């Protein structure tokens, strides 16, 4: 058996809990040999998560599950080499398959007559990638790089509750009798059928909701309740605990899901933060004057190198790349870029 095929078997065994200590050490060593192998592991983990919802262990046929997953990754291997370069260039979209019907049937067989326990699915969009998730009610969510979405396998109550960390674009299936609620660490967004964008990265001091169409209610804590209309945006600064309502071109805030980076008079510090997430690099602005400078541009399908070159031509800045090094845990540190004033 070829080494890569053997290691894919070990990955599957790690997901099913049937891996031995020796095999787990071998897998851990391989995964941390390079960022590319770690990315490959993350891709297979996401595939496993969406095709194997979180049901009771007694209902899982491990041998059948392994055979099913190996068939999927065998097909994935056939297309991986051609897709990998494209993914690297445009921070590729990971399209997550719909598993609504299977989830519904399994839920009814396993839980309906015996328990009221709710089974949850959690999807993570790896750094440098975007993901698309189809929810059980027909709603669709796009997750930006490094974002997580937790949702019930079946919406079994009078509300459709999901939990977001990161950034997500929501296209909510209309159902006025079952409100759709997005919960973040700082805000809750309540809708019945609409489109909106939510920014809620735990590493950021800003949490924001931008409404594209329809109407939503935004709750901040227990005392603040605001209604948003299309082309309105609410922004909460968690450092000051102050929020603002502003008028905006809402379409600008959702184009990231289509691979477009659009900046409208935003500080370069925020621009580089978005670029860092999109391309999975750590960009640090060393000059406060550069960080505060406002920038306006739209990028579509450009590589990070091309975007940096254009920024250098249109703003008074220069940059340098820091060589990646292997850490004590055998992981490579994230690529780093430092930005300075050219004046």
With pLDDT > 70 as the criterion, what percentage of the chain qualifies? 76
Q: In what order do the strands lie in the sheet with 282-285?
A: 282-285, 336-341, 317-322
Q: Looking at the predicted structure, is the pLDDT value of residue 188 above 80?
A: yes
136 belongs to a structural domain: no
Q: Please tell me which residue, 85 or 220, carries the higher pLDDT value.
A: 220
Q: Looking at the predicted structure, is the pLDDT value of residue 243 above 60?
A: yes
pLDDT confidence band for 334 (50 / 70 / 90): confident
Q: What is the pLDDT of residues 249-291, one digit of tens each?
A: 998 888 999 989 999 888 999 999 999 999 989 999 999 999 9
Number of helices and strands in the chain (H, E): 8, 19
271 belongs to a structural domain: yes
Whether 99 contacts 131, CB under 8 Å: no
Q: What is the pLDDT of residue 67?
A: 60
210 belongs to a structural domain: no
Q: Please tell me which residue, 206 or 115, carries the higher pLDDT value.
A: 206
Cα–Cα dist 145/127, whole Å: 5
Q: What is the 3-state secondary structure (H, E, C) of 224-284?
A: EEEEECCCEEEEEECCCCEEEEEECCHHHHCHHHHCEEEEEEEEHHHHHHHHHHHHCCEEE
- Tally the domains of the chain: 1
Cα distances (Å, whole numbers) of residue 76 to 38, 80, 83, 127, 167: 16, 6, 10, 20, 27
Cα–Cα dist 343/329, whole Å: 40
Tokens of 139: 């709603």
Whether 298 contacts 263, CB under 8 Å: yes
Instruction: Give the best-scoring range by mean pLDDT among 13-17, 32-36, 184-188.
Output: 184-188
Q: In this predicted structure, which of 100-104, 285-289, 312-316 has the lowest mean pLDDT?
A: 100-104
Cα–Cα dist 219/145, whole Å: 25
Place of tokens 């945006």: 233
Q: Looking at the predicted structure, is the pLDDT value of residue 16 above 80?
A: no
Q: What is the pLDDT of residue 269?
A: 92
Q: Looking at the predicted structure, is the pLDDT value of residue 302 above 70?
A: yes
Cα–Cα dist 49/195, whole Å: 26
Place of tokens 């091309």: 306
Q: Please tell me which residue, 89 or 26, carries the higher pLDDT value.
A: 26
Beta carbons within 8 Å of 67's beta carbon, 6+ residues apart: none
Which residues span the domain enclosing 268? 259-343
335 belongs to a structural domain: yes
CB neighbours (10 Å) of residue 157? 11
Q: Looking at the predicted structure, is the pLDDT value of residue 4 above 50?
A: yes
pLDDT confidence band for 55 (50 / 70 / 90): very low
CATH of the domain at 298: 3.55.50.30
Cα–Cα dist 41/144, whole Å: 19
pLDDT confidence band for 326 (50 / 70 / 90): confident
254 belongs to a structural domain: no
For residues 163, 168, 169, 171, the Cα torsion angle rounded to the nearest 10 degrees is -20
Tokens of 101: 């019907």
293 belongs to a structural domain: yes
Q: Among 304, 305, 335, 338, which residue's Cα sits nearest to residue 319?
A: 338
Q: Looking at the predicted structure, is the pLDDT value of residue 335 above 60?
A: yes
Q: What is the pLDDT of residue 74?
A: 52
Beta carbons within 8 Å of 283's beta carbon, 6+ residues apart: 272, 273, 275, 276, 336, 337, 338, 339
71 belongs to a structural domain: no
Q: Looking at the predicted structure, is the pLDDT value of residue 64 above 80?
A: no
Please state the rounded mean pLDDT for residues 118-127: 89
- Which pTM value belongs to this model? 0.66
Whether 123 contacts 50, CB under 8 Å: yes
Q: What is the pLDDT of residue 57?
A: 43
Q: Among 195, 196, 191, which residue's Cα sits nearest to residue 216?
A: 191
- What are the two backbone dihedrals, phi and then psi, of residue 11, each rounded to the nearest 5 degrees? -60, -45
Q: Among 86, 164, 87, which residue's Cα sits nearest to residue 124?
A: 164
Q: What is the mean pLDDT of the chain?
A: 80
162 belongs to a structural domain: no
Cα–Cα dist 27/45, whole Å: 14
Q: What is the pLDDT of residue 229?
A: 94
């Amino acid at each position: 058996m070829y080494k890569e095929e053997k290691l894919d078997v070990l990955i599957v065994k790690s997901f099913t809990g049937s891996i031995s200590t020796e095999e787990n050490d071998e897998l851990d060593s391989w995964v941390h040999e390079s960022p590319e192998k770690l990315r490959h592991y993350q891709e297979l983990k996401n595939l496993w998560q969406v095709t194997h919802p979180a049901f009771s262990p007694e209902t899982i046929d491990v041998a059948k599950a392994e055979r099913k997953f190996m068939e999927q990754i065998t097909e994935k291997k056939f297309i991986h080499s051609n897709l990998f370069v494209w993914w690297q260039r445009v921070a590729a979209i990971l399209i997550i398959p719909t598993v609504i019907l299977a989830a519904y049937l399994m839920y009814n067989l396993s839980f309906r007559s015996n328990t009221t326990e709710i089974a949850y699915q959690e999807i993570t969009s790896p750094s440098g990638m975007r993901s698309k998730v189809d929810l059980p009610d027909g709603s669709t969510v796009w997750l930006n790089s490094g974002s997580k979405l937790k949702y019930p396998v079946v919406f079994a109550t009078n509300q459709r509750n999901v939990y977001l960390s990161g950034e997500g674009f929501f296209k909510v299936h209309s159902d006025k009798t079952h409100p759709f609620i997005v919960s973040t660490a700082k805000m809750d967004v309540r809708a019945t059928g609409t489109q909106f964008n939510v920014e809620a990265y735990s590493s950021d001091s800003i949490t924001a909701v931008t409404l594209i169409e329809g109407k939503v209610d935004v709750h901040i804590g227990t005392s603040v309740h605001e209604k948003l209309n299309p082309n309105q945006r609410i922004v909460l600064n968690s450092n000051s605990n102050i929020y603002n309502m502003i008028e905006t071109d809402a379409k600008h805030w959702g184009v990231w899901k289509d691979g477009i980076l659009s900046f409208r008079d935003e500080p370069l510090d925020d621009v580089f933060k978005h670029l860092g997430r999109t391309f999975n690099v750590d960009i640090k602005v060393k000059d406060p004057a550069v960080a505060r400078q406002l920038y306006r541009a739209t990028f579509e399908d450009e590589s990070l190198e091309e975007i940096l070159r254009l920024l250098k031509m249109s703003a008074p800045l220069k940059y340098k790349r820091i060589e990646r090094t292997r850490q004590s845990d055998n992981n490579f540190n994230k690529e780093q870029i430092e930005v300075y004033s050219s004046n």
